Amino acid sequence: MTSLASLLQAVAQTAQQMGPPGGGPGGRGGPPPGFSYSDALMELIRFVGSFLAIGAIGFRFGIVRRVRGMSDEARTLLRADNAALLGILGVLLLALNTLGAPFLTAIADNKSFAEALPKNLNPFEFKLAMLALAFIGFALVRATPSFGWTLAAIGVLFTILQPLYTGRNFSAKVNAVHVLAVSTWLGTLLVLALVGIRGVIRSNSSGVQRAELVADLVNSFSPLALTASAIVAITGATTAWIHLKRISALWTTSYGIALLVKLVFVLIVVVLGAWNWQRVRPSLGNEGTEHVIRRSATMELTFAALVLIATSVLVTLPSPR
């Protein structure tokens, strides 16, 4: 927790120190105005929850179902309930974010929890109901895989895309699609690395069999990743333009500087992803290449984690005026 707080603080202070002087109550060495560590932490919890929940669904429907002719051994290695456990963790984190936000508001404003709840409880209660549905779905995967995954997918998608059908804010609608797309891309990669590639490498299969199965998994993931990353680029650019309002805000405001920090990490993730797609993926299938893709995927996910931290800071900062 201490190291996480330090990372959040580092990104926030970078935005403050590179931005206009004298902006925050703590001076250039303190966090920028409007930034809250607790809010940033809650946003980070939401993003990680989305990654795990959507990633588990993406792994099940976007990768495993696309791999044809899997042997019984391969099906055992890629047991659906392994990914479902990550999905359950993701749902719990999303529930923590949903309930934690009003709880922190109640503490900050010296109110009761009930007083801190949104005035319109219908969307709030519906979101909790969808999270409960997703939890039940993931829990049922071991007993009834098809039914369980269907329930989980419905619950998670309705949760993530709630602004599309409950909100009037265009920016919130675009951001919901953005979160879904980036979670489909990098969240699925995370589950692929933790459940798919890791499970295959630790199996007792021959080196060639392991390499071929990893190649099938990565090749099945590539179309999903390309589609999702394209949507991420479009929705990300749209959201940035809505909030920035002018190009000069990129280097004259704390929000713009924080966005630049995020974009640097995003660029690194894109470069690593392109390297994996163009250089590493075509070589898969030969013995030993499964370890190469595991290392490169780990590097990509490391910078993806930095993107999440930078985004958690960014969304707590006020938009430029």
In this prediction, residue 99 carries a pLDDT of 84
Q: How far apart are CA 169 and CA 166, in angstroms?
A: 9
β-bridge partners, 284: 286
Q: Give residue-wise pLDDT tens across range 195-244.
A: 888 888 877 666 667 788 888 888 889 999 999 999 999 999 998 888 88
What is the value of pTM for the model shown?
Answer: 0.84
Tell the residue number behind the tokens 């369980």, with chain if given: 148
Using pLDDT thresholds of 50, 70 and 90, give the confidence band for residue 319. Answer: confident
Q: Is the pLDDT of residue 36 over 70?
A: yes
- 70: three-class secondary structure by DSSP: coil
Using pLDDT thresholds of 50, 70 and 90, give the confidence band for residue 277. Answer: confident
Q: For residue 90, which amino acid is it?
A: G
| CB distance 70 to 207 below 8 Å | no
Nearest to 158 by CA among 71, 54, 43: 54
Q: For residue 133, which amino acid is it?
A: L
Q: Give residue-wise pLDDT tens across range 80-95.
A: 678 999 999 999 999 9
**Domain residue ranges of the chain, discontinuous segments joined by +:** 36-314
Q: Give residue-wise pLDDT tens across range 171-191.
A: 889 999 999 999 999 999 999
Q: For the chain, what is the mean pLDDT?
A: 82
CATH 1.20.1630 is right for the domain spanning 36-314 = yes
In this prediction, residue 7 carries a pLDDT of 58
Q: How far apart are CA 257 and CA 177, in angstroms?
A: 24
